């Protein structure tokens, strides 16, 4: 009897093992692959089209210098100066600024006038934009006889420590910056804001009456308008420049006095520029900067911040 019971116990144990070996579980698996974070980009490139006394600095499509297959920029137009066909460097295609100069004139005379239309290309997110300008030199350089007749021999050609923000710096003892007037405007065309080239008058190098001046005093000498100033092109009040868009700024200058007798009209009077400016040299830096608009409420170009309402 005991042997029979033991045999039954062994059969029961085998049966339990058998049930465990043949059991199964329902299951499922879901996998999300390639999860990615990629930082967006904001990049500013700038181009310029330069005008001087009515002539334009343009690509030498006429090949006036016979340098075929070489991209050159020369003066084109009917004005006697600058001479048609001579090289110029104030126009270029959209790029990082680097060594590009909006102005590089070595023989300015009273009554000379010019204008640059500057295009800002924002890629690829909405951005606020500012321009910072600073005069780095306003030097008397040397003294010639007509200049001495105005300034006197004790002053002319002598390094004099100036007062004001450039106190003690002999590179700021000249008069040229005080005698070149500047005017800047948002070249937006007929419709307010930057719409693109489909908007009549946008980016056309001409100040229209409805286009907004950028300087608080409208027109001013370089010693004021370009010396240690920051100008707003787009901030949290105006709204950002649209990513992938192009925005146009006009910058006009006059060797003498520039006036706007009526909106949309600029007149250059060179009679106010005297012999005290002869041989003087002015150098300025113009820097454009942009900053992301998203998650940046209250941005202002002067570094302060508007409090959210």
Whether residues 231 and 84 fall in one domain: no
| Sequence-ordered list of residues with C-beta below 8 angstroms from that of 283, at least 6 positions apart, any chain | 135, 136, 137, 138
Split into its structural domains, the chain has a count of 2
pLDDT at 170 (0 to 100): 66
Whether residues 119 and 203 share a domain: the answer is yes
Asked whether residue 308 is assigned to any structural domain, the reply reads no
**Boundaries of domain holding 198:** 107-292
Looking at the structure, tell me whether residues 55 and 113 fall in a common domain: no
Domain shared by 88 and 233, yes or no = no
Q: Are residues 232 and 143 in the same domain?
A: yes
Joined tokens for residue 175: 């008069």
Q: Could you tell me if residue 40 is inside a domain?
A: no
Render pLDDT for 7-37 as a digit per residue (tens, 0 to 9). 544 444 454 555 555 678 999 999 999 999 9
Torsional sign, CA 168, 171, 174, 180: negative
Please give the Cα distance from 183 to 95 (Å, whole number): 24
Vertex 49: Cα angle to 48 and 53 (nearest 5): 135
* Tokens describing residue 154: 């004790």
Question: Do 140 and 281 reside in the same domain of the chain?
Answer: yes
Helix or strand run (H / E) with residue 9: helix 2-21
Angle at 147 between CA 144 and CA 152, to 5 degrees: 110
Question: Is 23 inside any structural domain?
Answer: no
Domain check: are 150 and 211 in the same one? yes
Q: Does residue 71 belong to any structural domain of this protein?
A: yes
* Residue 19 exposure: Cα atoms within 13 Å on the Cβ side: 5
In a domain, 278, yes or no: yes
Structure tokens at 252: 């006009």
Would 39 be classed as within a structural domain?
no
Alpha carbons 133 and 222: distance in angstroms, whole number: 10
The answer to whether residues 92 and 118 belong to one domain is no
Q: Are 256 and 270 in contact (CB under 8 A)?
A: yes
Q: Residues 83, 193: one domain?
A: no
125 and 150 part of one domain = yes
304: in domain: no
Same domain, 213 and 286: yes
Tens digit of each residue's pLDDT (9 = 90 or more) over 198-229: 788 899 989 999 999 998 889 999 999 999 99
For 6, the enclosing helix (H) or strand (E) is helix 2-21
Per-block mean pLDDT, blocks of 10 residues, the chain (309 long): 48 50 84 92 95 94 64 92 94 93 95 96 93 92 84 72 64 90 93 78 91 90 93 92 92 97 95 94 95 94 77
> What per-residue confidence (pLDDT) applies to 43?
94
Strands of the chain (E only): list them.
43-52, 55-59, 73-76, 92-95, 113-123, 127-139, 180-186, 219-221, 229-234, 246-255, 257-259, 267-269, 281-292
111 and 92 within one domain: no
Tell me what pLDDT residue 77 has.
Answer: 95
Query: Which pLDDT value is given to residue 6?
Result: 46
User: Residue 180's closest CA among 224, 130, 132?
Assistant: 224
User: φ, ψ for residue 119 (rounded to 5)?
Assistant: -110, 130
Q: What is the DSSP string of 182-249?
A: EEEEE---SSSS---TTSTTTTSS---TTSPBSSTTSEEEHHHHTSSEEEEEE-TTT-PBPTT-EEEE
User: What local confidence, expressed as pLDDT, does residue 164 receive?
Assistant: 66
What does pTM read for this prediction? 0.84
Q: How far is CA 40 from CA 37, 243, 246, in A?
A: 9, 11, 19
Q: Is residue 21 situated within a structural domain? A: no
């Amino acid at each position: 009897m005991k042997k029979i019971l033991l045999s039954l116990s062994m059969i029961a144990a085998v049966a339990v093992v058998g049930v465990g070996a043949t059991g199964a579980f329902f299951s499922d698996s879901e996998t999300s692959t390639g999860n990615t974070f990629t930082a967006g980009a904001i990049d500013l490139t700038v181009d310029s089209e330069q005008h001087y006394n009515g002539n334009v600095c343009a690509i030498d499509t006429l090949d006036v210098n016979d340098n075929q297959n070489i991209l050159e920029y020369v003066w084109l137009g009917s004005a006697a100066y600058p001479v048609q066909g001579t090289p110029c460097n104030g126009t270029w295609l959209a790029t990082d600024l680097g060594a590009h100069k909006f102005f590089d004139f070595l023989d300015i005379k009273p009554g000379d006038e010019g204008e640059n239309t500057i295009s800002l290309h924002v890629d690829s997110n909405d951005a606020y934009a500012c321009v910072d300008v600073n005069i780095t030199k306003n030097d008397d350089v040397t003294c010639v006889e007509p200049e001495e007749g105005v300034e006197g021999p004790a002053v002319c050609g002598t390094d004099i420590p100036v007062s004001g923000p450039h106190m003690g710096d002999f590179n700021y003892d000249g008069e040229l910056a005080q005698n070149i007037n500047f005017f800047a405007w948002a070249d937006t065309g007929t419709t307010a804001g930057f719409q693109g080239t489909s908007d009549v008058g946008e980016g056309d190098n001409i100040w229209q009456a409805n286009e907004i001046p950028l300087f608080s005093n409208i027109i001013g000498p370089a010693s004021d308008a370009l010396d240690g100033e920051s100008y707003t092109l787009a901030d949290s009040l105006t709204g950002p420049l649209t990513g992938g868009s192009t925005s146009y700024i006009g910058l006009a200058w006059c060797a003498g006095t520039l006036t706007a007798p009526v909106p949309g009209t600029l007149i250059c009077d060179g009679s106010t520029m005297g012999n005290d400016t002869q041989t003087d040299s002015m150098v300025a830096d113009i820097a454009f900067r942009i900053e992301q608009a998203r998650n940046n409420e209250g941005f202002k170009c002067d570094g302060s911040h508007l409090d959210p309402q």
